[in-house]
Structure 1
């Protein structure tokens, strides 16, 4: 099992509307539905011994440090293929999302091939990293250590943040890696390709495995006349990229900068980019839900031909199973700064919920099980999306109203809670935040049930199987 088709968005603190850092990713899969849940992992529950389910790689107990922190996660509900914790925020307000599946090329694979036995992958990285790190840079160092010691069998990108910094790391071959600090006033969109471009080995804003520069020189891997472009050196520029990956970045750039020059298939769209406005949670949710609206490539639109509507892979897709925005705020006390915005199912028919992460439990409706169960928001959202897909022109307007209503109500609960918990600490504070999370989860669950009812009412007269003597 593999989550292979994600889209990552990173926004520095000076590029957001409220001065927070935001790292986001839609966790997408294949044709098989992969139910996701929301958990909080207490230090006592962190594994004392670890063996990967997929690769059977065992981790030395000494590398499972004896002082893990509490952290949130969004693991696969079944657990049969491992944990796949996906994303979370720990008790030090350090966030991590992992992983974005990325591309490679034959040149590096001929030097440092991906492992065919053992190694770590998306299944493992959050569980082995997030409970042990106290800064984004420590996250890079921790993953770099694990990659160099144990190796990997797949190419992945991942991000780390706190209230001040965001770092993005990509694996290179079986044991090498690169990372870059995202400028505070910039944003990044990273689809399923190797994304880091310009790289400066002399700058403190860049990190890599220690022998990487020598490896590039020894094996003559750099195709450029000057400088180092890691996408050119280690990545790909294929026809698949032009249809599957690059158009997603193009659409995001056009959204944030209507004057952005370029075409959907362009191979060299920039990694570090700058928006014309401050970026909000709502902007990121729109992007993660997008399907090329107002272009000929929108599967739900009426501007393009049937062929054009199938040309490019959208960000919002039926294979969205879990989407998160990990926000670390700068305008509130540290005890309430971490917020894991979370939505399950296809993003065209769901709403984000801003869960506080200084908690001891999660709402029951977000504790998904592997079997279809309409008491769980994951399955309710899947049902809404599949019904909505039958006539987006009719149901899309209902979804917009539902999402605006849900986000407004969650914002209100969050504003009220931020004020109510002032001066609280310890278990008393955690209890209040658990209560607020439950209230927001209940609100969005009830709104989703209401949305389904409205869809049924609107769709009743649109069914093909009907007969009326007046027809």
Structure 2
């Protein structure tokens, strides 16, 4: 998760938020572990505060002139000859940081169906940091989608390009991120200024990620593992592991902090939801990197994990930091579907605000234009902003959470169930139409997504009106009949 821009907050506020501004939760699902054969990468984008608007946007393909490319955090790299088109969800204030508004773009799919979700922030341990310090103007969450999505045609190419940049320019943060295409998904982790590792997620498995580095038990020589040059030698030289083993390498322990309940409680919770039969104990130092689910995982299952709390579990009384937090800005579940026509293989289920009190709307990759409310507003409430319409529901619910939170979840769960069914049916129509009229199929998909953004926003606004009316009514004083008659006669 992001760190705030110094241009917007004072150093004092930044200091106060430094412990809470790094937090997201993510999930990667292999194609053999999913209910419909799609690859999924998903994440909650959480922040240190509740008020932070996000915009939907599409970056069209473009040709570039040779020269330097300066990104929002000061990183400077050679300008690529061209950019591929891609979708993104930047911060509302991105233009104040970067002239083109490309800052904290967080997730997207490019025209070659390469998808990125970046990042779940991760702590780097003191020993690794001392041996290979992080670089302030290096690779950070805020620029990763912007840097990689417009340049690559496959997920593996994206991993390799990111690794090249890290080794050449350095990294500014410890991070986990996810890169996928229709064939494979990779979990990438950055552990120090210049060292990284990436592991391909097995087709029959999923990976649950909180805010700690997760990669362990991997063979550095495997074709499913990529890593920085000289990684093993660096770990041995600086004694980052007691007994480093190239065939069962523990990147998380070498570079990160394991056993932190802030992270492992969520790892346990997610794995207990998807693989309950494993009956794992709580608060292990490290949980399995990959697990097979008890049942094939659907989009709804992923949403349930991303919206989970510890209620009804062994950690109900003392669980640290659940998936659902009120400082959640948006959530996304990206599907890569190999059985769909090329331009429709990518599908993003997108919500705004706190996931259980919001709705995941299906956005086909053909969609390149968005309703104005999804590109409007700031960190101050606005009736015109889609983010604020959804986020305000959670804020209003805080007045009577036992009453309103279940109502909101039930309302949106019902709506999402309809959307899941609609998309399943629409996919079949689109496949058939694509064979006879490609452009008509793409237009149909785009129009559907655009319409659902409008319709669900109208629903959120109507729900807000009803909640405000109900809350106002609930504050009425109970008068006697005589008092009421007197008041009404005045």
**Under a length normalisation based on structure 2, what TM-score does the superposition of the two structures give?**
0.86
CA distance in 1, matches of 2:31, 2:373: 32
Aligned partner (choices 93, 99, 111) of residue 113 of structure 2: 93
1:466 aligns with 2:477: yes
1:68 aligns with 2:89: no
- Check whether the contact 1:363–1:437 (CA below 8 A) recurs between aligned residues: no
1:112 aligns with 2:132: yes
Residue ranges of structure 2 left out of the alignment (5+ in a row): 5-20, 484-490
- Check whether the contact 2:331–2:352 (CA below 8 A) recurs between aligned residues: yes
Aligned partner (choices 185, 202, 207) of residue 188 of structure 1: 207
- Check whether the contact 2:214–2:289 (CA below 8 A) recurs between aligned residues: yes
Which residue number corresponds to residue 371 of structure 2? 363
What's the CA shift for 1:434? 2.4
Higher CA-based Rg: 2
- Check whether the contact 1:159–1:167 (CA below 8 A) recurs between aligned residues: yes
Which residue number corresponds to residue 353 of structure 1? 361
Which residue number corresponds to residue 37 of structure 2? 19
CA distance in 2, matches of 1:218, 1:73: 40
Aligned partner (choices 143, 153, 156) of residue 137 of structure 1: 156
1:23-64, CA deviations, whole angstroms, 9 ceiling, x for partnerless residues?
00111110262211111110139898532333x222222xxx
Which residue number corresponds to residue 307 of structure 2? 289
CA distance in 1, matches of 2:284, 2:197: 23
CA distance in 1, matches of 2:82, 2:42: 27
Which residue number corresponds to residue 170 of structure 2? 151
1:103 aligns with 2:123: yes
Aligned partner (choices 404, 407, 410) of residue 395 of structure 1: 404
- Check whether the contact 1:248–1:314 (CA below 8 A) recurs between aligned residues: yes
Moved over 6 A (4+): 45-48
1:439 aligns with 2:458: no
- Check whether the contact 1:105–1:236 (CA below 8 A) recurs between aligned residues: yes
**Stretch moving more, 152-161 or 429-438:** 429-438
Aligned partner (choices 222, 228, 251) of residue 249 of structure 2: 228
1:365-385, CA deviations, whole angstroms, 9 ceiling, x for partnerless residues?
322321422232210111101
**Stretch moving more, 403-412 or 281-290:** 403-412
Aligned partner (choices 262, 265, 268) of residue 250 of structure 1: 268
CA distance in 2, matches of 1:112, 1:450: 53
CA RMSD of aligned residues (A): 2.3
SS in 2 for 1:199: coil
CA distance in 1, matches of 2:237, 2:372: 55
In the alignment of these two chains, the number of paired residues is: 452
CA distance in 2, matches of 1:47, 1:403: 47
SS in 2 for 1:23: strand
SS in 1 for 2:62: helix
What's the CA shift for 1:458? 4.7
Aligned partner (choices 424, 427, 452) of residue 464 of structure 2: 452
- Check whether the contact 1:222–1:228 (CA below 8 A) recurs between aligned residues: no
**Under a length normalisation based on structure 1, what TM-score does the superposition of the two structures give?**
0.90
What's the CA shift for 1:223? 2.1
CA distance in 2, matches of 1:276, 1:124: 36
CA distance in 1, matches of 2:241, 2:224: 21
